[in-house]
Amino acid sequence: MNGRGMLQHTDDLNNLLAESHRREELTPDCTFEWVAEGRIRLTTLRSTDRVTIDAWYDYCVQFREQWKPTEPPLFLLVNITTAIEELTPYARQRSVDIARFRPEIPTYCAVLLPESLIGQIIKLYIWSITTFSPNLKVQVFFDFEASLQWLMSHVEKHSQAHGGEVGVI
């Protein structure tokens, strides 16, 4: 990290990922893990079938149910670069359901998409979800490093605003 705390190069990102812990595999195509010393929750979806989407939805709802107002914002990175051949109506509805569940939770979510036509289409859809909550800040990326840098900038802003404290899971 540079003097301002911003990530500068891939080594910093690799170190953040190396610090990953508490990896959970809900299905072979749906995993959750904590990166950046437990500050960012990385979700990887490798399929949009119902089993995968249901596991993702159930975990997200359970996770959001446990959030307390005294806790820091949620910092999420959703990697769907290998899952998307299409965004099924079921997956779209479940993503809306998650966005609507506990809209008071301050959430920063970076969504990593494939750089393709379907990725561009999904990007437009994702922007429509952000209307459900003023506390939901979503940014779409086609580059992993850029998505992690965006989230870390918000982690650092929150940390500075709260005397260096950022929740670690």
What are the residue ranges spanned by the domains of the chain? 10-161
Rounded Cα distance, 76 and 151, in Å:
8
For residue 62, what are its two tokens? 């359970």
pLDDT band at 166 (very low <50, low <70, confident <90, very high): low
Mean pLDDT score, 69-82: 90
- Higher pLDDT, residue 18 or 148: 148
What is the pLDDT, as a whole number, of residue 118?
78
pLDDT score at 10: 44
Residue 4, pLDDT above cutoff 60 = no
Q: Does 163 score more than 80 pLDDT?
A: no
**Phi, psi angles (nearest 5°) of residue 119:** -60, -40
pLDDT on residue 75: 96
Asked if the 10-161 domain carries CATH number 3.30.750.24, the reply is: yes
pTM: 0.81
Determine the Cα–Cα distance for residues 44 and 25; give it in Å rounded to an integer.
10
> pLDDT grade, residue 3 (50/70/90)?
very low
CB contact at 8 A, 121 and 85: no
